[in-house]
Chains A and B, each alone.
Chain A
Amino acid sequence: DAGVIQSPRHEVTEMGQEVTLRCKPISGHDYLFWYRQTMMRGLELLIYFNNNVPIDDSGMPEDRFSAKMPNASFSTLKIQPSEPRDSAVYFCASGTTNYEQYFGPGTRLTVT
């Protein structure tokens, strides 16, 4: 298996633009997680899905952030409009349980 796949690996955009991050989980994994990592705040859980259904989105910072999982093999995290403080590394992870997780390589987002 190729592991969790994320795209793009790097994204540079201007403030106010829409950003879409993509994730393909490991086949057969029922759980999918989106995390954000910054130096200041460490690793934060944004949202997680079970069987394509959002279970807990309490970590989503504000209405500018949204996440979808239209099928078992694809998820998106969208930021609209983006702000400089959204600059971070965004990780997608998947697993067969809600505690044993396999992480993707991350998307480094820079908002100028």
Chain B
Amino acid sequence: AQSVAQPEDQVNVAEGNPLTVKCTYSVSGNPYLFWYVQYPNRGLQFLLKYITGDNLVKGSYGFEAEFNKSQTSFHLKKPSALVSDSALYFCAVRASGYSTLTFGKGTMLLVSP
């Protein structure tokens, strides 16, 4: 089976501060890992992915994520949050032998001015 957990329903951060949105996964074999963002009344937008290679992945809008195999984590990070980053963030995983993505429940990020 493949599963992903986002332990926080909501993350609050002040503008200009660093942000972290947590994600852990459970798969057999090597995972493909993804982050998507959803703005109000919109579909999900792809942010970044890890397939293989460097554990630190850089994506859109200044976001990055670090793959940690020993901790089975793929946390999303940004050095300096913007109010416009406020949105719902989804982590997703696909393992070898599976044909589709499994999404987490989502974490609401609120960045205050």
Contacts and interface: CB of A to CB of B under 8 A. Distances in A.
A12 interface: no
Contact of A43 (B32, B34, B42, B106): B106
A99 B101 contact: yes
Interface in B84-113: 90, 94, 99-101, 103-106
B44 interface: yes
Interface in A60-101: 91, 93, 98-101
A25 interface: no
A66 B42 CA distance: 24
B interface residue count range (under 10 / 10 to 19 / 20 to 34 / 35 or more): 10 to 19
B90 A4 contact: no
A103 B104 CA distance: 16
Main secondary structure on A side of the interface with B: strand
A28 interface: no
A57 B25 CA distance: 24
Contacts of A93: 43-44
A98 B43 contact: no
Given A42-B106, A43-B90, A43-B106, A98 B46 contact: no
Contacts of B101: 45, 99, 101
Most buried by B among A42, A43, A48, A104: A43
B93 to A, nearest CB: 9
A48 B100 contact: yes
B22 interface: no
Interface of A: 4, 33, 42-43, 45, 48, 55-56, 91, 93, 98-106
Interface of B: 32, 34, 36, 41-46, 49, 90, 94, 99-101, 103-106
6 contacts: A42-B105, A45-B101, A98-B94, A99-B32, A101-B46, A101-B101
